[in-house]
Chains A and B, each alone.
Chain A
Amino acid sequence: MVFNTGAALLDAIVLAVVSKEEQGTYGYKITQDVRQVLDVSESTLYPVLRRLQKDECLEVYDMEFAGRNRRYYKLTEKGAAQLNLYQIEWKNYTSKISKLFEGGI
Chain B
Amino acid sequence: MNREEFMKQLERLLWDIPENDRLDAIAYYNDYFDEAGIENEAQVIRELGSPEKVAATIKANSNMAESEQTEYTEQGCYTGYDYTSKNVPERQDMSAQNKKQKRDIPWPILIILIIFASPILLGVGGGLLGGLIGLIAGFFGIIIAIAACGIGFTIGGVVCLAVGIYYIFVNPLEGLVCMGGGGILGALGILLVLLFVWIVFKWIPALFKVCVNFCQRIFHIGERGNAA
> For chain B residues 21-68, which have a beta carbon within 8 Å of chain A?
21, 24-25, 27-29, 31-32, 34-36, 44, 47-49, 53-54, 57-58, 60-62, 65, 68
Smallest CB gap from B34: residue in A: A68
Q: Which of A6, A43, A46 is in CB contact (< 8 Å) with B71?
A: A6
Check A4 for interface membership: any CB of B closer than 8 A.
Answer: yes
Is B57 a contact of A5 with CB atoms below 8 Å? Answer: no
Given A4-B71, A47-B77, CB of A42 within 8 Å of CB of B48: yes
Given A26-B35, A28-B31, A71-B27, CB of A43 within 8 Å of CB of B57: yes
Is B70 a contact of A7 with CB atoms below 8 Å? Answer: yes
Given A47-B58, A51-B65, CB of A5 within 8 Å of CB of B35: no
Number of interface residues of B (CB under 8 A): 32
> For chain A residues 1-55, which have a beta carbon within 8 Å of chain B?
1, 4-7, 10, 26-29, 31, 39-44, 46-51, 54
The majority secondary structure among interface residues of chain B is helix
Is B60 a contact of A47 with CB atoms below 8 Å? Answer: yes
Expressed in whole angstroms, the Cα–Cα distance for A29 and B36 within the complex equals 9
Is B49 a contact of A41 with CB atoms below 8 Å? Answer: yes
Is A43 a contact of B72 with CB atoms below 8 Å? Answer: no
Check A70 for interface membership: any CB of B closer than 8 A.
Answer: yes
Check B73 for interface membership: any CB of A closer than 8 A.
Answer: yes
Check B76 for interface membership: any CB of A closer than 8 A.
Answer: yes
B149 nearest CB across to chain A (Å): 75
Q: Which of A44, A46, A54, A70 is in CB contact (< 8 Å) with B25?
A: A46
- What residues of chain B have their CB less than 8 Å away from a CB belonging to chain A? 21, 24-25, 27-29, 31-32, 34-36, 44, 47-49, 53-54, 57-58, 60-62, 65, 68, 70-77
Given contacts A26-B35, A47-B57, A71-B28, 13 further A-B contacts (CB under 8 A): A5-B72, A10-B72, A28-B32, A40-B72, A41-B76, A42-B47, A42-B48, A43-B48, A43-B53, A47-B62, A49-B28, A50-B58, A70-B35
